[in-house]
Every structure is written in C-alpha cells, then in structure tokens.
A and B are shown apart, each in its own frame.
Chain A
Amino acid sequence: MQFWGYDLYSLYNVPPARLAMLFIAVFVGFYWAGSILFRPFLRQFVKNTPGANDIVGYILSCFCVFYGLLLGLIAVTAYQNVSDAGENVTREAAALSALYEDVSRYPEPHGQNLRWLLRDYTRYVIKYAWPLQRMGIVPEEGTIRAEAFHEKLLDFQPQTPAEEILHAEALRQFNNFLECRRMRLFSVKSALPTTMWYVMILGAILNMAICWLFDMRFLTQLVLGGILAAYLGTMMHLIFDMNQPFRGDVCITADAFESLYKRMDEE
C-alpha cells in the first residue's frame, strides 16, 4: 500500500509490540502537535460563540457514530478475511493429508515416490512459501512441486479394480487440494483498498480536529485528546495488523502444515 510514495506495508517488518506503540505514539503525537500548532487557529472559528463546547460535543458525537461504524465494519471485514484465509489453509492441509493417505496405498515404487513428492511440497510450503507470504509475495515454486506430483500421479496405471477406485479418489482429492491451494495464493495479496485507508485516516484526523475545537484548559486538552488519539491509534493498528492474512501479528501461521509434515516425517 503506497502512501505518499512510501510503502506502508514495510511496517509489517516492525515487531508487533513496537508497531502498536508506534501507531499510538504517531496518533498521540499528531494530536499533541496539532494542539500546539492548529488548535489556536481552529479555535478562532468558535471563539465567542455561546455554547461552543456543546455544539462541538454534539458534532463530535454525530461524527463518532459514523466513524465508529466505519471502523467497526472495516475491522470485522478484515477479521473475516483473515478467518476465511485461515480456513482455506486448514482445508488445503487436510486435503494434502488425505491425498498422502491415498497414495500411501499405491504399490511400490509409485507409493513411495508420490509420498516423497507430497512431503517435498509440504516442506516447501513451510520453509519457503510461508516466509514469502509473510512478505506479501505470492510463492511460485509450489506450483512446480504440485505439477511434479500430478505428473507422477498420472504416470500410475491401475491394474486392478481396487487400484482404479483408489486412483480415482486420489485424483479427486488432488483437485480438491489444488482448489484450496489456489485460494490460499489468492488471499496472499488480499487487503483493504487504499481508498478505504485514506477514508479511515481522514476520519481520524477530522476526529482529532474536532477535539481541538473544545474550549478547555491546555493540559486537559492534551490528556483527554491524547486518550482518544491513543485509542484511535490502537484501532488503526488492529486493522492494519489484520489487513493482510499472512502478515502482521494477527496472521495465519503454517501450523497445519507443520503438524502434517511432522506426521509425514515420522512414518
């Protein structure tokens, strides 16, 4: 996601706790800086207006309802996105496991070679694909491994009715696995549209700008506004963290594949 020429996704490289602190610090810092730099000018608009604080409070509460709804819905969407991607990963691992079981029943040397190719695929997903996904890159070389397996699977010529049934089931399971795999790859780059981020950030700025209009002691302004800004920062961090399913702290891990690989390796 480009923001004024900067790739904000590089922030995913910051350790999660520090990133949260950074978001809060940026929002609170912005609020405080605005209190010093912009507040005196903004207050000119409401100065000498009777009941100015009541009017500002009313506007702020109206604005917060819409902005809160927007933030809430976006957070839910982002979480749903992560959750769906997580489900796809689990389904892919489950399909892989079932396929592994199917080809284990193949006569040798086909069975061993096919098992070995599936293990190779799983290892690749854990060791190479996942780190790439965490960088927001769609891993490409898993496709080669899946094709290699498919090629070997098609090499097998069933000799008995039982083998025919087994082979048909393995092919069906393979197609199921491919579908889940494709869904996982699609979700690597899924994220909130940049426009939505602009709207959220603008909303946060306006929220803070409205607070600057309040007529109150400077220190009180800093403390109360700072608390609001800190919470806005936390919300933004949460949404940013869930923005891409394979990045950030709230991300999908390779646990399903790791447990499968462990089982494959133990056999």
Chain B
Amino acid sequence: MKKPAVEDAVPQPALLSRRRALSSGAAATLAAARGLAPAVFAGCSLGIPEKARTVTVGLLHSQTGPLAISATGLRDIELHAFEQINAAGGILGRRIVARAPDPRSRADLFVKRSRQLLEEGAVAVFGCWASLSRKTVLPIFEEFRRLLFYSVAYEGNESSPYVVYGGMVPNQQILPAIDWLGSPAGGLRKKFFLLGSECVFPRTANYVAKKYLQSKGMKSVGEAYVPLGNRDFVATVREILASGADCVLNSVNGDSNLGLFAAMADAGIDPEKLPLVSTRIAEEELRSLLPAQVKGHYAVSCYFQSLPTEANRRWIAGFRDEFGFDRVTGDPMEPDWCLVHLWKQAVEKAGSFETEAVRAAMRDGLTFDGPGGTVRLDPKTQHCDKYFRVGRIRGDRQFDIVHASPEPIEPDPYPQIAFPGWKCDWTKGGIERGPEVSIDGDV
C-alpha cells in the first residue's frame, strides 16, 4: 500500500500563496543581508584594494657594505617620520608604505633598486649617500619624472629639477669651516691637508676648498684619496705628517674612518696640533669609533645631537623611544627628517602626490621647524638654508659645539669662486651655464 507522504497528511495552503510567501521571504532575507552587510564588514578592508589606501615611498640607503655605518641611520629616521605621519592619519588620508631595499653600497645596485622602486610606483624616494650613487640614479629619476630627496652634505656643482637637496653644499660647510679654522678660535691654521675617499664629493669639494684657500692666502699642502672601504691609512698618515700641515680636512666616507682614526692615534698625533676636521663624521659614525682615537678632533655640520634646545631634546627622546635608548641622532639624520616633513607639506599643499604638483607647491617656498632650527627650502635651487656648526669630539662619542653661525646660510650649489658663471634658478628656467670647469686642472 502506498504510504502517504508526511506533507500529504497535513492540510497545505494554496500553492500560489505558499510561493508568494517563499518569494517574499527570500526577498526579505536578501534585503536583510544587504542591510546587515555594512555592519558585518565594518572595519575591514574587504573590497577596497590595499593600494587605494596607501602610497609607496622608497628609502634607498645602503644597509650593508662600507656605507652602511652611515646610511642605516637615515633609513631609521625616515621610518620614524613615516610611522609618526601614519599614526596621525597619513598624508591626504593615505597611509605611507616605506619600501627599503638594500643597494649594498654599490652604484650598480643603486641603479637597479631605484628603477625597481619607481617601477613599483614609489611616488618619491629618499636616499643615496655618496655622490656617485646620486649621480648614477639621477637619470632614472629624470626619466620617471619623480623626486629624489637627498639629505647628505655634498659638493654642489649640480642641480636637477627632480632632486631636492637637504644637505649642506660647500658654501654652507667647507668654506665656513676654512674661515673658522683660519680664525683665532679655530687656531689660526693656514696649512691644510685635503684627504678624502676616491669619490665625487671629496674630489669636487676639495677643488672648491683649494680655490677658496688660494683666495684667502692659505695653502693646501697636500691631497690624498683612498678607495672606498679602504682601512689602511698608515702611508697616508705618514704623508700628512711629512706635509707639515696644521690641519686635515677629512672627507673620508663610511667605515674607512675606522682605519684613519686608528692610524692617526697610532702615529701619536695630538688633535690640538693637527686636528682632523671631518665633513662626513657624525654621532652615528662615532658609535663604531673608539673614543680614545677620536677625542679632540672636529666635525663640521649643520646639526649635532648635543644641541641644547627643547625641540631637539623632544626629537631625540621620540627617536629613542622607538628605536632604542642607545640610538644617536646627527647630521644628516636631522636634514633627512626635515626633508620628509617638507615633502609632506608640499604634498598637502599640492593636494596630490604627483611630482609636478609637488614641485609647484615647493616653488612657493616651504619652511619647517626642525630639531636643528627652522629650515627653509629655497625654491630657486631646491636646496635648504643651513646653520653652520663646528663640533669637537668628546670622550662620550658626542660633540661639544664650539662654533655656530648666527643665522642659517643660504645655499649656493655653484660657488662663483669655483664655478664662475654658473647659476641655478628653477623658478626662472633652471640652470644658467658658465664655462666648463675641470676639477682635475691646476688650481
């Protein structure tokens, strides 16, 4: 016998009304799902591409190789700046993603990494230490029409619409250093030995220095260049002693300074009589040097950690809170910090991350109150005004500031004494060329 289905035994409502009821129910469920979806997915990023909420910047600093000793601090201060910016809501509502590949202190890798960064969409890149790396990557930035922010003191004799220079140029660092060394406070020194790494910066900066020394009636009694990464300075120190110099203008880069200071100490050189005046030594480098070997020598810079201002103390404390109690700040970390904030200002002013809009915003002139004082970005040269400061190295790997310029010095990437006829004004058509100058020629 056929067994009746369970439903057959129960009186059923009319089929049409049941269908209507079911379709109404389905419609109500869909409506409820649509209404509840925002609540379920609230706070999550489903459906919004990650790239739409972020913007990438590149940090191009050597984290290994001979320049790592100096450049790693720049990476960290930039990370610190971007972390703070992100914590405050980012820029134009977008979180900054900092990508930091390692060019390993090699010019060829600087090219490869910068191209990679720009191809991956980095809107700006903060980076480079040695001038060789900057000059090597410059055509790539010009090709992509993106901005490179360069914070290290350099030799000048260069200006590009796609580079913003945050470091000192010779008229803000080397020339005032010569003036100071020739003054009674600096020991009335007249005979200079010019020492540097075999790189663009020391060669060109020393050319400018020689021209200036000549104009001031002082003398360059010797000149020596060592390969980057070289640590054997015994012969060089002998050469310095034989020259009869009363001070050494030191533009040696990176960890070569370890060998240089060790050789100076081994030769029993008294910093009072023959000081090394370094343009590339800051607190970060002093971490790797033995205090006994460096004490009493000098560095010329725009910033020292020992600067006794409240803004500086707050900045150092903030950095140490994040990166560790024993971290130090110095030049070019301070200019680097200022560059990040100047870029932020420019982007906010432009309302866009697009390079030309940012450059246009910079043309109006920007200022930022940095830990080392107020910094103004010169729209003509895309360089910054800088204080000039002289520090004497203490036994605790810090500096006593023994001299400071009363006002920031305006940048002149083409000092007329060395590059006559050359001028730069990006608000009025760019570079005005003078006669070609050979830095290898007689001075």
Q: Which residues of A contact B325 (CB under 8 A)?
A: 265
B288-A113 in contact (CB<8A):
yes
Could you list which residues of chain B lie within 8 angstroms of chain A, going by C-beta atoms? 2-3, 5-7, 10, 22, 25-26, 29, 33, 40-41, 43-47, 50, 63-65, 68, 72, 76, 83, 99-102, 287-290, 322-327
Taking the nearest CB of chain B, how far is it from the CB of A182, in angstroms?
18
Q: Which of A11, A18, A217 has the most CB of B within 10 A?
A: A18
Complex Cα–Cα for A156 and B43 (A): 49
Q: Which residues of A contact B2 (CB under 8 A)?
A: 48
Taking the nearest CB of chain B, how far is it from the CB of A151, in angstroms?
5
Q: Assess A112 versus B76: contact at CB under 8 Å? Given A15-B43, A18-B40.
A: no
Q: Which residues of A contact B322 (CB under 8 A)?
A: 123
Cβ of A87 within 8 Å of any chain B Cβ, yes or no, is: no
A14-B324 in contact (CB<8A):
no
Residue of B nearest to A110 (CB): B288
Q: Which residues of B contact A216 (CB under 8 A)?
A: 6-7
Complex Cα–Cα for A123 and B319 (A): 13
Cβ of A36 within 8 Å of any chain B Cβ, yes or no, is: yes
Cβ of A22 within 8 Å of any chain B Cβ, yes or no, is: yes
The stretch from A56-64, A68-76, A140-148, A251-259 touching chain B is A140-148
Q: Which residues of B contact A109 (CB under 8 A)?
A: 287-290
Complex Cα–Cα for A18 and B65 (A): 49
Taking the nearest CB of chain B, how far is it from the CB of A21, in angstroms?
7
Cβ of A168 within 8 Å of any chain B Cβ, yes or no, is: no
B41-A14 in contact (CB<8A):
yes
B7-A11 in contact (CB<8A):
no
B324-A265 in contact (CB<8A):
yes
Q: Assess A217 versus B10: contact at CB under 8 Å? Given A14-B46, A144-B63, A144-B102.
A: yes
A144-B64 in contact (CB<8A):
yes
Taking the nearest CB of chain A, how far is it from the CB of B281, in angstroms?
14
Taking the nearest CB of chain A, how far is it from the CB of B287, in angstroms?
6
Q: Which residues of B contact A141 (CB under 8 A)?
A: 99-101
Cβ of A47 within 8 Å of any chain B Cβ, yes or no, is: yes
B72-A113 in contact (CB<8A):
no
Q: Which residues of B contact A22 (CB under 8 A)?
A: 40
A47-B5 in contact (CB<8A):
yes
10 residue pairs of the A-B complex, CB under 8 angstroms, read: A13-B44, A18-B44, A21-B40, A32-B29, A48-B2, A109-B289, A123-B323, A144-B63, A148-B68, A215-B7
Residue of B nearest to A48 (CB): B2
Q: Which residues of B contact A119 (CB under 8 A)?
A: 324
Complex Cα–Cα for A11 and B65 (A): 42
Q: Mark A214-251, 1 if CB is under 8 A from B, else 0.
A: 01111000000000000000000000000000000000
Taking the nearest CB of chain A, how far is it from the CB of B73, in angstroms?
11
Q: Which residues of B contact A144 (CB under 8 A)?
A: 63-64, 100-102
Q: Mark A114-150, 1 if CB is under 8 A from B, else 0.
A: 0010011001000100000001000001001101100
Cβ of A195 within 8 Å of any chain B Cβ, yes or no, is: no
Taking the nearest CB of chain A, how far is it from the CB of B30, in angstroms?
10
Residue of B nearest to A149 (CB): B64
- Interface residue SS majority, chain B: loop
Cβ of A29 within 8 Å of any chain B Cβ, yes or no, is: yes
Q: Which residues of A contact B22 (CB under 8 A)?
A: 36
- Interface residue SS majority, chain A: helix
Q: Which residues of A contact B323 (CB under 8 A)?
A: 120, 123
Taking the nearest CB of chain B, how far is it from the CB of A79, in angstroms?
24
A13-B46 in contact (CB<8A):
yes
Complex Cα–Cα for A22 and B6 (A): 33
The one of A25, A48, A112 that contacts B326, using a Cβ cutoff of 8 Å:
A112
The one of A33, A36, A113, A120 that contacts B287, using a Cβ cutoff of 8 Å:
A113
Complex Cα–Cα for A75 and B31 (A): 34
Residue of B nearest to A32 (CB): B29
Complex Cα–Cα for A112 and B290 (A): 12
A147-B7 in contact (CB<8A):
no
Q: Which residues of B contact A13 (CB under 8 A)?
A: 44-46
Taking the nearest CB of chain B, how far is it from the CB of A122, in angstroms?
10
Complex Cα–Cα for A47 and B4 (A): 10
B40-A50 in contact (CB<8A):
no
Cβ of A10 within 8 Å of any chain B Cβ, yes or no, is: yes
B29-A29 in contact (CB<8A):
yes
Q: Which residues of A contact B288 (CB under 8 A)?
A: 109, 113
Complex Cα–Cα for A151 and B7 (A): 79
Complex Cα–Cα for A144 and B65 (A): 11
B44-A15 in contact (CB<8A):
yes
The one of A11, A50, A116 that contacts B3, using a Cβ cutoff of 8 Å:
A50
Q: Which residues of A contact B41 (CB under 8 A)?
A: 14, 18
The one of A123, A151, A215 that contacts B64, using a Cβ cutoff of 8 Å:
A151
Complex Cα–Cα for A107 and B57 (A): 38
Complex Cα–Cα for A16 and B270 (A): 67
Q: Which of A29, A119, A148 has the most CB of B within 10 A?
A: A148
Q: Which residues of A contact B287 (CB under 8 A)?
A: 109, 112-113, 116
A residues 1-40 with Cβ under 8 Å of B? Answer: 10-11, 13-15, 18, 21-22, 25, 29, 32-33, 36
Complex Cα–Cα for A267 and B378 (A): 44
Complex Cα–Cα for A213 and B233 (A): 90
Complex Cα–Cα for A145 and B2 (A): 79
A33-B26 in contact (CB<8A):
yes
Residue of B nearest to A43 (CB): B5
Q: Which residues of A contact B68 (CB under 8 A)?
A: 148, 151
14 further A-B pairs in the complex, CB-CB below 8 A; given A13-B46, A15-B44, A148-B68: A14-B40, A14-B41, A36-B22, A109-B287, A109-B289, A112-B326, A141-B100, A144-B63, A147-B64, A215-B5, A215-B7, A216-B7, A264-B324, A265-B325
Complex Cα–Cα for A21 and B83 (A): 34
The one of A18, A29, A148, A218 that contacts B72, using a Cβ cutoff of 8 Å:
A148
Q: Which residues of A contact B50 (CB under 8 A)?
A: 135
Taking the nearest CB of chain A, how far is it from the CB of B31, in angstroms?
13
Complex Cα–Cα for A119 and B325 (A): 11
Residue of B nearest to A265 (CB): B324
Q: Which residues of B contact A50 (CB under 8 A)?
A: 3
Complex Cα–Cα for A116 and B46 (A): 38
Complex Cα–Cα for A217 and B3 (A): 16
Q: Which residues of B contact A48 (CB under 8 A)?
A: 2
Complex Cα–Cα for A97 and B423 (A): 56
